[in-house]
Amino acid sequence: MQRIRPALERLQDEIGLRHALASDRLYTDGAEILFDYGQKAGEEKISQLVVVRNQQRIFIPVVEQYLRHITYGPDHWASRLRLPGYEKTPVIVDPKRAFGRPVIQRVRVPVEELVDRWWAGDSIHVLAEDFGLDEGEVEDVIRIATRIPAAA
């Protein structure tokens, strides 16, 4: 938060960007808030990535691989986020699905529903059958969502 608030204030003060956290010109490398000062409307390519806090330019090929989880709509605002960590089962957050709760993308089931049933005692096998997933996908979701190993 020590770096986020000043960066957002600077973007609002300097270029009038309100709600910068949802903008397709805003990025992060996990430590800093980065902004693409060179991106033009309708352009998808990152061109001039800069650390907002100190205006240091970033070597784009190094951080580009970490910036692919967010999908932007035609209005250039975030519309969907693919959550990191789910190796076998893509999980997304989309405000148009399940009220923005994390959803297993392929079957459109909220992660919370699968995990709640697992906590209630349903086996990995039963969950896989009920939700149309394979057992490895169920284990992946439970492992990441709960941060504990799933027991069949």
pLDDT tens digits for range 123-139: 999 999 999 999 999 99
Q: Parse the chain into domains and list their residue ranges.
A: 4-67, 91-146
The pLDDT value given to residue 152: 55
**Residues 101, 22, 105, 65: what is their CA dihedral angle, to the nearest 10 degrees?**
-130
The percentage of the chain sitting over the pLDDT mark of 70, rounded to a whole number, equals 86
- DSSP, res 145: H
* The model's pTM: 0.61
| 36 exposure class (CB count in 10 Å sphere: 0-12, 13-18, 19+) | buried
Structure tokens at 34: 């980065």
The pLDDT value given to residue 11: 78
The pLDDT value given to residue 6: 76
How much is the average pLDDT of 106-120?
A: 95
The pLDDT value given to residue 51: 84
How much is the average pLDDT of 23-48?
A: 70
Fold classified for 91-146: Arc Repressor Mutant, subunit A (1.10.10)
How much is the average pLDDT of 95-109?
A: 89
CB 138 within 8 A of CB 114: yes
